[in-house]
Amino acid sequence: MKVHVDMNLCQSHGECVIVAPDVFTLGEDDILVWSEEVPDDRRAAMEAAVDACPMMAIRLEN
């Protein structure tokens, strides 16, 4: 699946990093970096990241 993050909404809260640190990290200056293509067997973790984001910035696409 593809993982999209709207960087106009993301405020680097880092909740997604806590849920799935292998996919999301806070890089230099706390700017979020992430894997845009994630295996389908990680769907539960990605849905948890979507739910955890207080800005509703994460969107999944099959």
List contacts with ligand SF4 (CB under 6 A): 5, 10-16, 24, 32, 52-53, 55, 57-58
What's the rounded Cα separation, in Å, for the pair 26 and 36?
15
In angstroms, give the least distance from the CB of 62 to ligand SF4. Answer: 19
Q: How far is CA 44 from the centre of its chain?
A: 12
Nearest approach, Cβ of 27 to ligand SF4 (angstroms)?
11
Determine phi and psi for 12, rounding to 5 degrees: 55, 40
Residue 49 C-beta: closest distance to ligand SF4, Å: 7
